[in-house]
């Protein structure tokens, strides 16, 4: 095993569902290249988003450039910033990343984002990055209504800031995911049970394969 490491952040509350499985597959891809990985389940950690304390921007402050707010994520933020690769995996909630993932990126990235005239990043390492999105809607709907219109701004900004602070992300998608283990039990007229099942059996394995390949790619890049 090399000394290089990739952190994979699962921003879904469901550890072993669609997003979790995509994380696992990415991890297996990276591990196949002898790169260490660690999957972090954000919903296991007691933390909140940025408190706007600005200790990270205080001139000559002892915590300049880092988030020192003491809670369950502080130590991990430091470890991630010294790693080599970062994967942010999130289900789409109301056209955006989940609230936990949002809180996480505020804490991780804001200290590195300088308020100088050039908006310089002071991340100690320019980590390789990837994003995994999983969602209920299909590909056409996503690109038309989430990324092709005014609604798209939040996701585009998320991707832009990640690129700015670390490196432009590779993006892996799983569309049209299954949401329940038994569609008959829930009120869900909008989504066709048979179509979902077909997607789950035929398309999702291909999505997992894409995540695996992305893991291989990132591992090779950081080797
Ligand atoms: C609160 C909530 C909001 C959601 N909003 C959207 C949405 O706006 N668009 C969408 O395509 N899917 C939406 N979904 C569905 C999830 O994104 C999708 O099922 C995802 O794959 C779930 O990931 P998981 O299986 O890892 O939990 C929503 C789910 C929840 C629970």
Q: What's the confidence (pLDDT) of residue 108?
A: 98
Antiparallel, parallel or unpaired: β 85-91 and 5-10: parallel
> What is the maximal distance between C-alpha atoms in the chain?
61
| Secondary-structure class of domain 5-222 per CATH | alpha beta
Cα(3) to centroid(ligand 1), Å: 35
Q: Are 66 and 11 in contact (CB under 8 A)?
A: no
pLDDT in tens, the chain (223 residues): 679 999 999 999 999 999 999 999 999 999 999 999 999 999 999 999 999 999 999 999 999 999 999 999 999 999 999 999 999 999 999 989 999 999 999 999 999 999 888 878 999 999 999 999 999 999 988 888 777 665 557 898 899 999 999 999 999 999 999 999 889 899 988 888 999 999 999 999 999 999 999 999 999 999 9
**Dihedral over Cα of 79, 81, 82, 83: its sign:** positive
**Binding site membership of 11 for ligand 1 (Cβ less than 6 Å):** no
Cα(144) to centroid(ligand 1), Å: 17
Q: Are 25 and 209 in contact (CB under 8 A)?
A: yes
**Binding site membership of 15 for ligand 1 (Cβ less than 6 Å):** no
């Amino acid at each position: 095993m090399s000394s290089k490491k990739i952190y994979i952040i699962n921003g879904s509350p469901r550890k072993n569902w669609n997003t979790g499985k995509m994380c696992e597959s990415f991890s297996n891809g990276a591990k196949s290249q002898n790169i260490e990985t660690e999957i972090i389940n954000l919903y296991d950690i007691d933390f909140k988003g940025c408190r706007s304390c600005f200790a990270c921007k205080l001139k000559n402050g002892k915590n300049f450039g880092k988030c020192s707010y003491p809670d369950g994520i502080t130590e991990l933020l430091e470890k991630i910033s010294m790693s080599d690769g970062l994967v942010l995996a999130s289900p789409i909630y109301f056209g955006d990343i989940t609230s936990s993932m949002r809180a996480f990126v505020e804490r991780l990235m804001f200290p590195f984002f300088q308020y100088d005239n050039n908006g310089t990043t002071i991340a100690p390492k320019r980590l390789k990055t990837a994003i995994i999105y999983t969602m209920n809607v299909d590909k056409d709907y996503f690109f038309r209504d989430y990324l092709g219109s005014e609604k798209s701004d939040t996701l585009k900004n998320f991707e832009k800031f990640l690129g700015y602070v670390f490196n432009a992300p590779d993006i892996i998608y799983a569309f049209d995911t299954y949401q329940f283990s038994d569609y008959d039990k829930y009120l869900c007229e909008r989504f066709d049970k048979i179509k979902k099942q077909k997607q789950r059996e035929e398309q999702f394995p291909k999505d997992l394969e894409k995540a695996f390949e992305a893991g291989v790619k990132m591992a090779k890049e950081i080797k």
